[in-house]
Amino acid sequence: MTNVTKRSGEFQPYDRRKLVESMVRAGASEPVAKEIAARVEVADGDGMSTIELRRRVAAELRKVNESVSEAYARTLRLPVKARNEVETGRALVAKRIERVPDMMSGQPGRLGFGERRAEVRIDPALDDREVWLNPSDFRALGAPEGTRIAVRFLYQGGMPSLGSSAGRPRQTARLRA
């Protein structure tokens, strides 16, 4: 595969490294991520949509580890903006996000930029695919305005709870023998 088709319709060179990094950030081990990247590359020719690529990767991850697959599927990278009208501890996002059909107002979410993390309550309220934060939350995250940050949509009950993950070992997916 040499190109992928972005949501906007533009072609972009396929970058296996970016795909592997996204799976590792979701909790997959690097060997698993590399093997899955190789499998999905062989699956189709040039010009696969990024949406279809993510679906295939999530399906392959599900065979190895359900929770890592869910984390991968429910994480987006969205441009961030600081807005005074947003409450501290909240994040406003697009009203409709295809990959998160069960999104509800007030559901927990985890934001990430580099090594910094913030846990927030998510409110679907915007027309654009971006995330708005209160200026104090925005400064704490340390991302320049307009930079894409990771936004992980957590489940109300079944996924990790709001609260510190410090001290908990990071779970990584491994291939089954």
pTM for the model? 0.71
Token pair recorded at residue 75: 């994480």
Residue-wise pLDDT for 23-54, tens only, equals: 998 889 999 999 999 888 765 556 788 888 88
- Residue that the structure tokens 């846990």 belong to: 119
Neighbours of 120 (CB within 10 A): 25
Residue-wise pLDDT for 125-176, tens only, equals: 999 999 999 999 999 999 999 999 999 988 765 444 333 333 333 444 444 4
